[in-house]
Amino acid sequence: MSKTALLIIDVQNDFLPPDGSLAVPDGRAVIPVIQGLLDQTKWDWDFVVPSQDYHPKGHISFASTNNGEPFKEKLVTNVHGVEYAQTLWPDHCVIGTKGAEIERELRHSFEPWKNKMKIVRKGCHCLLEAYSAFDGYLFEATDPAEPPTDDGSSVPRVIMPSDTALGKYLREQGVGKVVIVGLASDFWFVQPARSKNIPTDPEGSVLQTSLSSLGASFPTLLVKPATRGIDETATSKGFEKLEALGAKVAGKDGGDWEAEVREWIKY
Ligand SMILES: [Zn+2]
């Protein structure tokens, strides 16, 4: 049986009510479900990899940096000189703030896994946006929270998911399967201009990490009860897209999702 990694995406204070600056309304509902997945009497993951959105002040994705309005798009230019439409966000997950920290109760549940755990931090460069955990940097679970020191210009402009730090690490460790939980399964905001036009690619770190995982050729499973997004329809569309690309989604229709996950891991 190949090894399985559990990726826990962005369960950080800024993505959680009541105080998060970019809170997913029902985001706290994922915490007890993920804690259940970290119960060592029930589950035996070979690796556990929590991720953190981890931005310096003045990050390219912030409305405040770009003189723009949150949740609107603006053309920006990244460190490689590439111009693109960035969705602007309120300041969030700024390095050194409480908002960037992984939720406290969940962090307690990490303790027994520390020897099987790395942390991914992403969006660490001022002029680079990152939604996928595969675009982040790997840190030891015990490392102090220091970001990389370069400005991002050393990061290749195009990098295949399998060649990223996380992709290489998982492969080197013999991981053959990836299970993904966390926030957010979409970040799609209901705006008049877009309300009839749900994007096929809602921004959201769970979706983008899953796309990378498939892109790196890992059989990939999402645990729906352990994810939340802003909009149920956008989330469902995102999951449909992932399934069309070969991912498995457990717990879609209620029922015994734990049995579905165990079955998939065994297969
Ligand atoms: Zn961010």
For the chain, which residues make up each domain, given as ranges? 3-53+95-266
Structure tokens at 108: 């307690």
Give Cβ neighbours of residue 41 (< 8 Å, ≥ 6 apart): none
pLDDT of residue 186: 84
CA distance 171 to 120: 15
Provide the sign of the torsion angle of the four alpha carbons 103, 131, 135, 75, taken in this order. negative
Tell me the mean pLDDT in the region 51-74: 95
**How does residue 192 score in pLDDT terms, banded at 50, 70 and 90?**
very low
Residues with CB under 5 A from ligand 1 (ion): 53, 123
145 pLDDT above the threshold of 80: no
**How does residue 201 score in pLDDT terms, banded at 50, 70 and 90?**
low
Q: The whole model's pTM is what?
A: 0.94
CA distance 261 to 267: 10
- 60 CA → ligand 1 middle, Å: 9
Beta-bridge mates of residue 83: 77
- Considering the four listed CATH numbers 3.40.50.850, 3.40.50.300, 3.40.1410.10, 3.30.70.20, the one that applies to the domain covering 3-53+95-266 is 3.40.50.850
pLDDT of residue 236: 87
pLDDT digits (tens, 9 = 90+) for 207-263: 999 999 999 999 999 999 999 998 888 888 889 989 999 999 999 988 899 999 999
Angle (CA) 146-152-158 rounded to 5° is 130
pLDDT of residue 193: 46
- 101 CA → ligand 1 middle, Å: 13
112 pLDDT above the threshold of 60: yes
- 22 CA → ligand 1 middle, Å: 9
Beta-bridge mates of residue 51: 9, 120
64 pLDDT above the threshold of 60: yes
